[in-house]
Amino acid sequence: MANQRISVRVLAGLMFTGGLAGAAFGQAKPEQLLNRQPVIPGVQISTPATAAEIAACKVEAREWPAQGNGVSPKGVIVLDGSGRKLRQFIDTEGGTKFNIASYFLDGVEAFREVDANRNGKPDSFRWLGANGGKHGQDRDENGTVDAWVNISAEEVTLELFAAVQTKDAERLKALLLSEDDLKALKLPQAEEARLRKKAEQAVGKLAKANADLKLTAKSKWMHAELTPPHTTPRDALGTPDDLVRHKNVGVLVDIGDGKTMSYLSTGEMVQVGKAWKLADGPTAGTVIDTADESNAGSTNQVPDELKATIEKIVALKLDAAKPHEYHLQRAQLLEECVTGTKGAQQMPWLKQMVDAYAAAVEASPEPKPAYDRFTAWKESILKGGASETKAYTAFRHAAAEFAVKRKEAGTDNKKIAAVQEWRKDSLEKFVKEYADSTDAPEAVMQLAVEAEYAPKDGEAAAKAWYEKLMKDYAGHPYAAKAAGAIKRLGCEGKAFELSGETLDGKAFSEKVIAGKPAVVLFWASWGSQTADELAALAKLEKDFAAKGLQIVTVNLDDDKAAGEKAVKAAGLGGHHLYAAGGLDRSPLANAYGIHMIPHLFLIDKSGKVASRNAQPGPGLKDEVEKLVK
């Protein structure tokens, strides 16, 4: 995480000069420069894995055009054997004391450290490329972010969850409105005082939120429930700019005990420039902020008449054997919250109710009662709801209807095909009608994935949908996965490309297995047949050891420890890559647009993809025998 405390192992690397001060540009050895790693852990970058790869790297001296001060920045760039950038170090004053260090992933800048005061310690960090767009400052230069210049509302919830999980007060403080922020907003005195008071009390809520939620190392951030931000026009406040806020953001949390889901509330969040800042501390459970345009300072928690209902919702326990009962009970209680609130205050409850009914329908062996009730709510919402709520409800109701139709089809192939066609038509209709909704990218991705497996012209149709994702929703995380999927669909006969870090922290790239046949498995410990699949790879590894067969796996667990445990249990050698983000967000999954596990590639001795969709099971050995000949 971005704000982890600095460790002893990176202390020696904090000085930008790093033993290179005074060295002529281009004379430093690649290994010297490649030893430099980002101060912030967890950043995805490319680093050569073997001595041979490092030997193929070269260092080039560069000079850039003069800046406003008339000085031409100078620096060095480390290139890999293919000419792709790995590192870049620049002295903006034209000397040899580097004050900008850049790190690259697959040739694209992915992280940057800046030493603005030129004292040999970075004081600014930027996440770039596949790593996102955050920008944090380290004012005390201790290797952690203590102020955010650019951070999205969703990224704030991730940071807040981590702060609550670890009871890290400093991490929370970095997210809060500062005095500089309040001055920049130039709010009326009363509103400024209100926000200041809330922010001052925020840290005091940290320990209680942790205790109330009973978070552990196994607890997980699931998703943030974001409604459109609330905007108060500048003329209503007499400020230079509009005041843009989230009244509250609810964070769905998996407690980690295998049965409990809960909520963490962020409280009020205010946009300051390019960064979202917290104006309040974390609270366990769901809290509704009722601020409105006529009175930007009025805030209240859940209405008194609903508090008993909220307590019942929080007290619900998930029985893993009967999950539909939990979801249905939750939906029925949430109905009370929907009918007991209005306007913007109602929206979070309505969305939670819709989610609960959708989950109840999909999980139930007899879904009709929940489906009928959900349908009644859908018809009511589509008649009088806001456009965002209509889209949110329509998308989830269509998924629930598909689940019902699929159960009714049973094992009749003709009926199943008809249901699949209905699903395709419903998704296309949704994309056309709600093209600007937050769920539209998900609908397009589903159309693309389902098209891949269609018996006729499937891959051509899938490619068209993936291209639409990249074009129409370029800023969405699915755009990167779509680009990877297009690469996967056309990869056979082309060089296999994959780089990252292994479960044990070693750098890996496709060059590690150069000249040898390989089996590459994308997997996760939660897969229904994972243990058997890893055991089968261990046997293949043993059977074809003399032929040089290489085993590469890409673990897509949310929890790294789960991947490590599974590999150890299988007794599997080889190379096992890992990057945070799971199946949906891991850059390793995005590299080839992996959307299902297991997914197998076969790589020939020349490093080219022999099969992009090999199948696990008895036939895999026959395929490997052909591969190693």
3-state DSSP helix/strand/coil % of the chain, to nearest 5: 45, 20, 35
- Whether residue 21 is predicted with pLDDT greater than 60 in this model: the reply is no
φ, ψ at 278 (rounded to 5°):
-80, 140
Identify whether the C-beta of residue 243 lies closer than 8 Å to the C-beta of residue 296.
yes
pLDDT for 334 equals 92
Domain ranges of the chain: 8-149, 152-300, 499-628
Q: How far apart are CA 377 and CA 348, in angstroms?
A: 15
- Selected residue with higher pLDDT from 346 and 605: 605
| Separation of CA 476 from chain center | 11
**Mean pLDDT (whole number) for 42-67:** 86
Torsion of CA 354, 359, 364, 368, to 10 degrees: 20
What is the token pair recorded at 622? 């026959």
Give pLDDT tens digits for 199-255. 999 999 998 999 888 888 888 888 787 777 888 888 877 888 888 998 888 888 888
pLDDT for 316 equals 80
Instruction: Give exposure, 352-370, as e/b (b: 16+ Cβ within 10 Å).
Output: bbbbbbbbbbbbbeebeeb
Mean pLDDT of the chain: 86
- Whether residue 424 is predicted with pLDDT greater than 90 in this model: the reply is yes
**Mean pLDDT (whole number) for 455-480:** 88
pLDDT for 285 equals 75
Q: How far apart are CA 151 and CA 162, in angstroms?
A: 15
Give pLDDT tens digits for 541-561. 999 999 999 999 999 988 888
Lowest mean pLDDT among 14-23, 34-43, 307-316: 14-23
The DSSP code for 245 is E
Sheet holding 261-265, edge to edge: 220-225, 250-254, 261-265, 283-284
- Whether residue 310 is predicted with pLDDT greater than 90 in this model: the reply is no
pLDDT category at 295 given cuts 50, 70, 90 is: very low
What's the alpha-carbon Rg for the chain, to the nearest Å? Answer: 27
Q: What percent of the chain has pLDDT over 70?
A: 92
**Mean pLDDT (whole number) for 15-38:** 65
Smallest Cα–Cα separation from 229: which of 191, 162, 182, 277?
Answer: 277
pLDDT for 263 equals 81
**Mean pLDDT (whole number) for 615-621:** 89
Lowest mean pLDDT among 289-293, 468-472, 496-500, 612-616: 289-293
| Separation of CA 149 from chain center | 20
φ, ψ at 359 (rounded to 5°):
-65, -40
pLDDT for 220 equals 87
| Architecture, CATH, for domain 499-628 | 3-Layer(aba) Sandwich (3.40)
Identify whether the C-beta of residue 152 lies closer than 8 Å to the C-beta of residue 276.
yes
Give pLDDT tens digits for 129-178. 777 788 999 999 988 999 999 999 988 999 999 999 999 999 999 999 99
Read off the amino acid at residue 293: E
